[in-house]
Structure 1
Amino acid sequence: MFQPLLEAGLRQIMYRLVRPMLSNGVPLARQRYLIRQAYRMSVPPRNIQFTPSRLGNVPVLRVQTNPRPSGTILYLHGGGYVIGSAATHKGIAGHLAKLTGCEVIIPDYRLAPEHPYPAAPNDAEAVYLALLDEENAVNTIALTGDSAGGGLALVLAMRLRDHGHPAPSSITCFSPWTDLTSQQLYQPECEPVLHGSWVLKAAKMYAGETPLTDPMVSPLFGELRGLSPTLIQVGSQEILLNDATRLAEAAKNVDVDVTLEIYNGLWHVFQTHGAQLTRASEALETAANHIRRHMAG
C-alpha cells in the first residue's frame, strides 16, 4: 500500500516542481540551477566515494564503493545536452556502483548551446579511449546513460565501431532520447517531466547546423548492426516512449541482442528514485545484472 502512495506523491512532485523548470519560458541558466537542486532527491547509497578527476582532458567524477572494482561503467548523464552534470547524477551512479561492484565514471561533457554537436560525443569518446589507456580490459567497460546520455551512449558505441576501437561489453539506456526531430513523440495521458516544446528546443540548440536526422545526432537513424548487448528501460508515462520502442525494433531488425523493458505508470528516468521506489530499485538491479552478465571478470 505504501509504494503506490509514494509513486503517486513522487509523480506529483515531478509534475508540479520539476516539469515547470523544463520550460522554454525559464532561462537556461536558471534551469541548470534548479535542476541541480531537484537532483538532491536522488540520493546515493552510503559508503560511496566520489572523486573528481580528468580523463582524456575531460573532467569526470569517479564513483567507487569497492577499492578493487570488478570493472568500469562509463555513465553518460542526461539533460537534453543542455543541462545536467556529473554531480546531478551521483545518486543513480552510486547505486550502480554498489550493485555491480564496478567503478562508475561520469564525464562532465561540454553542454550546448555553448558547445553544440559534436562536443558531447567527442568528449565521451576521449574519456572511453583514456579508460582503455588505463589498461582496462575491453570487456570490462560498459556504457550506460539516461535520456540524452542514453542516446549519447549509442552514438559513442557507433563511433567506436566506425573508428575501429574496441566495443564496450554492454550498453544500458534509461529512457533514451534517440530521435531529436520530435516527429514521433509519444502522447501519454500524463507526462510528469517533459514538455515536447522544450525537447525540440534543446535538440536544435545541441545540433546547431547539423541536421536533426544525422545518425550521430539521432542514433535511431544510424547503423545499429554490431552493437553490444543492449538493455533499454523506459516508463509508460513519458513522451520518449516511442524513442525506446523504435530503437528496440530497429536494433532487433539487425540482430542486436536487445531487451526492452516498459515500466507501466512510471516516468522519465524513474531510476533516479532508486533510494525510494521499489520498482526503481528493481530496475537498477536488472540493469546491474545486465552489466555484470556481459562483463568479463
Structure 2
Amino acid sequence: MAFSPWYDMEANGPTFDSNAGVDVAISRQLVHAVAPMFLGGRSPTDPLANPLYANPAGLGPLLLTCGDDETLLDSVRRFAALAKESGVEVALHVADGMPHAFQLLAGRLPEMDASIAETGKWLREKLDT
C-alpha cells in the first residue's frame, strides 16, 4: 500500500514541528496549501482521503518505510498503530537520519540501497518466491 505525501491532510503530528528544520520536502504550510486541491471541498478527516481516519481492517500485510527526519514520521507511526490495532500485519522501518522519500535516491547512498533491498526481501517473503 502506498500513500500520497498528503495523507495527513491536517498536518497535526508532533514531527511536523520537531522535524521542520530538517525535512525540506514536506512542511505543514505545504500540506495546508495543497490539501484543499486534493480534497476538492471534502473534509481533511474524510477516510477516503486520509487513512488516519479509515478502518484498515482487512488490508493485506503492510510495509511502511520512512526516514526519522520526516515531518510525516508521526503520521506514519500513527497509521502503523491503527493498522496493527485493526489486525493488519505491519512492518514499520524507520531509517535513521533519512529525509522524506529517501529511496528515490537509490544508487547514491548505502542507506537508500539498503532500504530498497529490504523492501525486496520483505516482498519476496510475502510472495513466497
TM-score normalized by structure 2? 0.88
Tell which has more relative contact order, 1 or 2 (C-alpha 8 A, sep 6+).
2
Give, in whole Å, the separation in 1 of the partners of 2:85 and 2:32: 27
User: Where do 1:229-268 residues align within 5 Å?
Assistant: 229-268=61-100
Q: 1:280 aligns with which of 106, 112, 116?
A: 112
Q: Specify the SS of the correspondent of 1:294.
A: helix
2:12 match: 183
For residues 120-145 of structure 1, the C-alpha deviation after alignment (integer angstroms, 9 at most, x for no partner) is: xxxxxxxxxxxxxxxxxxxxxxx5x3
**Deviation (angstroms), 1:296:** 5.4
- Displacement over 6 Å in runs of 4+: none
Q: Any conservation in 2 of the 1:192–1:237 contact (CA below 8 Å)? A: no
For residues 44-90 of structure 1, the C-alpha deviation after alignment (integer angstroms, 9 at most, x for no partner) is: xxxxxxxxxxxxxxxxxxxxxxxxxxxxxxxxxxxxxxxxxxxxxxx
Give 1 or 2 for the bigger CA radius of gyration.
Answer: 1
1:212 match: 44
Identify, as 1 or 2, the structure richer in strand: 1
1:291 match: 123
**Deviation (angstroms), 1:224:** 0.6
User: Where do 1:77-88 residues align within 5 Å?
Assistant: none
**Deviation (angstroms), 1:194:** 2.2
Q: Any conservation in 2 of the 1:178–1:247 contact (CA below 8 Å)? A: no
Q: 1:201 to 1:215 in 2, by over 3 A?
A: same
Give, in whole Å, the separation in 1 of the partners of 2:13 and 2:83: 18
Q: Aligned pairs, how many?
A: 126
**Deviation (angstroms), 1:248:** 0.7
Q: Specify the SS of the correspondent of 1:249.
A: helix
Q: Any conservation in 1 of the 2:9–2:45 contact (CA below 8 Å)? A: yes
Give, in whole Å, the separation in 2 of the partners of 1:251 and 1:278: 30
Give, in whole Å, the separation in 1 of the partners of 2:6 and 2:110: 25
Q: 1:270 aligns with which of 87, 92, 102?
A: 102
Letter in 1 for 2:11: S
Q: Specify the SS of the correspondent of 1:260.
A: strand
Q: 1:237 to 1:287 in 2, by over 3 A?
A: same
